[in-house]
Structure 1
Amino acid sequence: MTAGSVSDKATALLALHSGAGFVLPNAWDAGSARILEQVGFPAVATTSAGIAWSCGIPDGEELDRDTMLDHVGRIAAAVSVPVTADLEAGYGDTADEVARTVATAVQLGVVGGNLEDAGPDGLFGIDVAVERLAAARAAAPRGTFVLNARTDTYFTHARSTDGGDPFAETIERATRYLEAGADCIFVPGVVDEDTIHRLATAIPGPLNIVAGLANLIDAPTLFSLGVARVSLGGSIARAALTLVERAGRELLESGTLGFLDGAMPYADLQRRFGPDH
Structure 2
Amino acid sequence: MSSHRDKAQLFHSLHKPSDPVILYNIWDAGSAAAVARAGAKAIATGSWSVAGAQGYKDGQALPLEEALVIAARIVASVDLPVTVDFEGGYAADPQAVGENVRRLLELGVVGLNFEDQIVAGTGLHSVSDQVARVSAVRRAADALGVPAFVNARTDVFLKAAPEADPAALRDEAIARGKAYAEAGADGIFVPGLTDRALIAEICTALALPVNVMMPDDPAGLREVAALGVGRVSLGPAPYRSMIAALEEKARGFY
Give the counterpart letter for 2:51 in structure 1.
Answer: A
Any stretches of 5+ residues in structure 1 without a counterpart? 253-277
Distance, in Å, in 1 between the alignment partners of 2:233 and 2:165 is 28
2:201, 2:218 → 1: CA distance?
A: 18
Structure 2 residue aligned with 1:88: 87
- C-alpha displacement of 1:137: 0.3
Aligned pairs for 1:104-253 within 5 A: 104-119=103-118, 120-141=121-142, 143-157=146-160, 159=161, 161=163, 163=165, 165-212=168-215, 218-252=220-254
> In structure 2, how many angstroms separate the alpha carbons of the residues matched to 1:106 and 1:127?
25
When the two structures are aligned, how many residues end up with a matched partner? 248
Structure 1 residues 196 and 239, CA gap change in structure 2 (3 angstroms): same
For 1:87 and 1:177, the matched residues in 2 are separated by 16
Q: Which moved more, 1:163-172 or 1:75-84?
A: 163-172
2:3 — aligned with what? 5
Q: How far does residue 247 in structure 1 lie from its aligned partner after superposition?
A: 1.9
> In the TM superposition, what whole-angstrom CA distance separates every residue of 1:203-225 from its partner, at most 9, and x where no partner exists?
12110001117x99722111100
Which residue number corresponds to residue 55 of structure 1?
54
- The structure, 1 or 2, with the larger RCO (C-alpha pairs under 8 Å, 6+ apart) is 2
Q: Tell me which structure has the larger Cα radius of gyration.
A: 1
Matched residues in 2 for 1:103 and 1:32: separation? 25
What is the rounded CA distance, in whole Å, between the counterparts of 1:45 and 1:152 in structure 2? 19
The Cα of 1:160 is off from its aligned counterpart by 6.0
Amino acid at match of 1:137: R
Q: Distance in 2 between matches of 1:169 and 1:22?
A: 25
Is 2:27 aligned against 1:37?
no
SS in 1 for 2:80: coil
Q: Give me the whole-angstrom Cα distance separating, in 2, the residues matched to 1:109 and 1:40.
A: 21
Contact 1:196–1:225 (CA under 8 A) maintained in structure 2: yes
* Alignment partners' CA distance in 1, 2:149 and 2:9: 8
Pair 1:162–1:230, CA change in 2 (3 A): closer
Deviation at residue 131 of structure 1 after TM alignment: 0.5
Equivalent residue for 1:266?
Answer: none
| Equivalent residue, structure 2, for 1:270 | none
Per-residue Cα deviation, 1:215-264 (whole angstroms, up to 9, x for no partner):
99722111100011001111111111111221232322xxxxxxxxxxxx
Rounded to whole Å, the distance in 2 between the matches of 1:235 and 1:220 is 18
TM-score, L = length of structure 1? 0.85
Q: TM-score, normalised by structure 2?
A: 0.93
**Cα 1:67–1:169 shift into 2, 3 Å:** same
The amino acid that maps onto 1:169 is E
| CA RMSD, Structure 1 to Structure 2 (Å) | 1.8
How do 1:259-274 residues align onto structure 2 when only pairs under 5 Å count?
none
